[in-house]
Amino acid sequence: MPNPQPKKGLFQFYPHNLWWIGLSIVAIILDQWTKWIAVTHLNYADPVPVLPFLNWTLLHNYGAAFSFLSDAGGWQRYFFTSLAGLVSVIFVFWLMRMPKNMLVLPLAIALILGGAIGNLIDRVALGYVVDFIHVYYNNSHFPAFNIADSAITLGTILLLIDTFFLEKHRIQRAQAQHD
């Protein structure tokens, strides 16, 4: 059986990375499905208690993750839509070029990609992002968020772990193989 070689050039890709694209698609579907449930079953800004520290609260976010710049005057919709679109294209290319022996970095990229596209769909279709997960403790409230925000956050944490802890080991292994 022939060993599949990546295509050369800018559009080089490894077929095994389609699994990571699949994970991004799962994140998008889960995000959009939970937002649909929130929109169809919750009243706007009317908290539904779930646990002593968690409510389902339907909100519209005109800013970025965790309501960052939500009251900036409207320009942020176009900025975040463009940014998410650009980052998504870059991440698809980056993800498809990942070597087979990597795990944490493509997982991080797949989660960030799925979250970015999940929120991008809302921005394009609605002009805002649907948030509904509201975490709090006593009188301290964290901004409402959604599954896409969670995927982006988890992906970013994994990306930082890969960058600060795993990249060094990859470089050392590569140098040892060349010696």
> Is beta strand 129-137 parallel, antiparallel or unpaired with respect to 54-61?
antiparallel
- The tokens for 82 are 């463009």
- The tokens for 60 are 């519209």
Please give the Cα distance from 25 to 65 (Å, whole number): 19
Burial class (CB in 10 A: 0-12, 13-18, 19+), 102: middle
Is 146 within 8 Å of 139 (Cβ atoms)? no
Residue partners of 72: CB distance under 8 A and separation at least 6? 62, 63
Is residue 131 flagged as an active site residue?
Answer: yes
Catalytic residue among 31, 149, 162, 179: 149
Catalytic residue among 31, 122, 131, 162: 131
Catalytic residue set: 131, 149
